[in-house]
Amino acid sequence: MGRGRQPERADHADRLWYSVAYNPSFSAGAVGFTGLALAVDRTTRHLVAGKVTWRADDRTDVVFTVLGDPTVHRMVSPAMWGMPEQVTNADAVLSRETSGGVTDRCSCGASRDASCSTPPWRTPTTT
């Protein structure tokens, strides 16, 4: 009696998929005020995205996602009351603003009653 062909395994256990994207953005422009040297108004933005999916076994998937747009704007702007004719102190027109941020998320899926524990970087510490 001959041996039949073994069925191929249809599972994809212990597999890892990932994707990553990074797009830096820079802009700058010189701004001058009477009484001060030219100052540079510049914005730096780092757009990031990433995803890792891990199939630990046939019943468990782990997904980690990161999204972000941290931004720093070193701005040169006139005072609240309008454009001054002359500036003697650079602090009156220079400022730094940060915005955006980075968000991460970890999720686990299991077909049974198993649940995903809190990732170690999210575990609250008591002091």
DSSP assignment of 94-122 equals EEEEEE--EEEEEEEEESSS--PPPPGGG
Q: Give the model's pLDDT for residue 52.
A: 93
Residue 122, domain member (yes or no): no
DSSP assignment of 67-88 equals EE--EEEEEE--BTTB--S--S
pTM of the full predicted structure?
0.63
pLDDT tens, residue by residue, 11-60: 556 788 999 999 999 999 988 777 777 888 999 999 999 999 988 887 88
Q: Give the model's pLDDT for residue 17.
A: 92
For residues 68 and 103, is the Cβ–Cβ distance under 8 A? yes
Residue 8, domain member (yes or no): no
Give the number of domains in the chain.
1
Q: Give the model's pLDDT for residue 1.
A: 47
Residue 49, domain member (yes or no): yes
Residue 123, domain member (yes or no): no
**Full domain range(s) for residue 23:** 15-103
Residue 53, domain member (yes or no): yes
The C-alpha atoms of residue 20 and residue 40 are separated, in whole angstroms, by 32
